[in-house]
């Protein structure tokens, strides 16, 4: 394998891993905004919490997909 192809493969894997590093930042923002919303409207706590959990689960899957893609790039190519 040529050096240029190897370097491109490693850079692509690093970019794919960035998805996994950015996800916790977004989840922290979601949790902070959910806490603010519950503080403003305590009666809507159940709806806000369930929506927050669904959003965090969906964003976590993008991080897992980024990790999976980086593993595929590193070991399968």
Structural domains of the chain, ranges and CATH numbers in brackets: 10-75 (1.20.20.10)
Name the residue among 30, 27, 21, 19 with its Cα closest to residue 65: 19
Q: How many of the other CB atoms lie within 10 Å of CB of 73?
A: 19
Residue carrying the six token digits 């922290």: 28
Mean pLDDT of 11-27: 87
CA distance 55 to 51: 6
Q: What is the mean pLDDT of the chain?
A: 89
Q: Compute the distance between CA of residue 59 and CA of residue 70 in angstroms, rounded to an integer.
A: 17
State yes or no: pLDDT of 24 exceeds 90: no
Higher pLDDT, residue 1 or 35 = 35
The answer to whether 73 touches 15, Cβ cutoff 8 Å, is no
Give the model confidence (pLDDT) of 29-55 as tens digits.
999 999 999 999 999 999 999 999 999
């Amino acid at each position: 394998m040529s050096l240029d192809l190897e370097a491109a493969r490693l850079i692509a894997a690093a970019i794919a891993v960035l998805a996994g590093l950015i996800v916790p930042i977004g989840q922290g923002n979601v949790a902070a905004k959910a806490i603010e919303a519950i503080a403003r409207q305590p009666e809507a706590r159940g709806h806000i919490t369930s929506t927050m959990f669904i959003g965090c689960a969906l964003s976590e899957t993008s991080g897992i997909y980024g990790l999976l893609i980086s593993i595929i790039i590193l070991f399968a190519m």
